[in-house]
Amino acid sequence: MKYHKLIENAADPKGFWGRLMIKSMNKNHSELTDWGLCHVEINRNYTILDIGCGGGKTVSKLCDKIGNGKVYGIDCSELCVENSKKLNNKNVICGKAVITQASVSNLPFDVDSFDIVTAVETYYFWPDKLNDLKEIYRVLKPGGKLLLVFEMLKTDDDPFKWEKVEKIIGTNAVKKEEISDILYRAGYINIQTFTKSGTSWLCATAEKS
């Protein structure tokens, strides 16, 4: 029962179980996030957007990597925005981090705004994946990079590993080829995918031309 309640709050955390899910995200996705971030070069003056910022751990990690840059975080969940602001309180106060409730489908930012856009374990829940990737492309600077990080990778070796979770949250684990293809169709170049031995982790990077 507890497991179901937690997983049901993965897409849009609310209430008691949503708060528990946010804590779980921050803890259980930390190592995955560190691994994913190793695949992009982050300069200290970069402006970065984290989509689906959840409990704010990725925003915090990104703030640690920049000097006079800035990190923006968005999430569709009011509860996630609240918790992310609390975790990043010092960075928000000094203006290093800005966290807002918003949707990936309608980003409240100008064209060519960001050097890097990150999305850790959120792609599954996007309402219109192809057009959402195009919306991210819009706000990336020319030469800017998108970083997608996944724990739920479907492989031929274990195609049913995530079946239970997929049924609960009503979405699907991803395939490496599927991610490469949709990034290409969204207009990105220099698309690369990476997996980590012994895990079902996937990381994809792509650039705006």
The Cα–Cα gap between 71 and 91 comes to: 9
The Cα–Cα gap between 172 and 154 comes to: 9
- Angle formed by the axes of helices 57-65 and 78-87, to 10°? 40
3-class state of residue 163 by DSSP? helix
Q: Is residue 8 part of a domain?
A: no
Q: Is residue 191 part of a domain?
A: yes
Q: Is residue 177 part of a domain?
A: yes
Mean pLDDT over residues 110-135, rounded? 97
CB 50 within 8 A of CB 74: yes
> Structural domain of residue 123, as residue ranges?
29-207
| Percent of residues, the chain, with pLDDT higher than 70 | 95
- Closest alpha carbon to 135 in 81, 207, 186: 186
The Cα–Cα gap between 130 and 187 comes to: 10
Specify the CATH number for the domain of residue 193.
3.40.50.150
pLDDT band at 36 (very low <50, low <70, confident <90, very high): very high
Q: Is residue 11 part of a domain?
A: no
DSSP letter at 143? Answer: E
Q: Is residue 10 part of a domain?
A: no
pLDDT of residue 129: 97
Q: Is residue 24 part of a domain?
A: no
At residue 1, does pLDDT exceed 70? no
Span 164-177, pLDDT tens digits: 888 888 889 999 99
The structural domain count of the chain equals 1
Span 39-96, pLDDT tens digits: 999 999 999 999 999 999 999 999 999 999 999 999 999 999 999 999 999 999 999 9
Give the chain's mean pLDDT.
92
Q: Is residue 126 part of a domain?
A: yes
Q: Is residue 14 part of a domain?
A: no
Phi/psi of residue 8, each to 5°? Answer: -60, -20
pLDDT of residue 99: 98
